[in-house]
Amino acid sequence: MNNLAFLLQAAPGGTNGAFISQILFLVLIFGVFYFFLIRPQQKRAKEEKIFRDNLSKGDKIVTIGGIFGTVEAIEDTAFIIKVDANTKLRMDKSAIRPVPAETEKTPKA
């Protein structure tokens, strides 16, 4: 009987503050993930899409595999890139990235 009375008692009044602090903590963690992981990735993907849409013949590019070249021709879903004097590669549009600024300015030996 004493156990039943103990279980039926109301919870102490201090639990609302703990619940609110847990909710605020979860919102804070979500905000950190959004602003440090999700948002920069979306921004980078948008910039790369704009870059691919604005490419024209003669632009310097690098593939995601690290191959440097220049755009020779543009197809619906691919680019033909010139790697060397007699070497041309057909690459998917999603495999193309802009040449990093540091790489463009380094003198070639």
Alpha helices in 9-109 (DSSP H): 15-33, 39-53, 101-105
pLDDT at 69 over 60: yes
- Please indicate, yes or no, whether the overall pTM of this predicted structure exceeds 0.85: no
pLDDT at 73 over 90: yes
pLDDT at 109 over 60: no
42 phi, psi to nearest 5 deg: -65, -40
**What percent of the chain lies above the pLDDT cut of 70?**
79
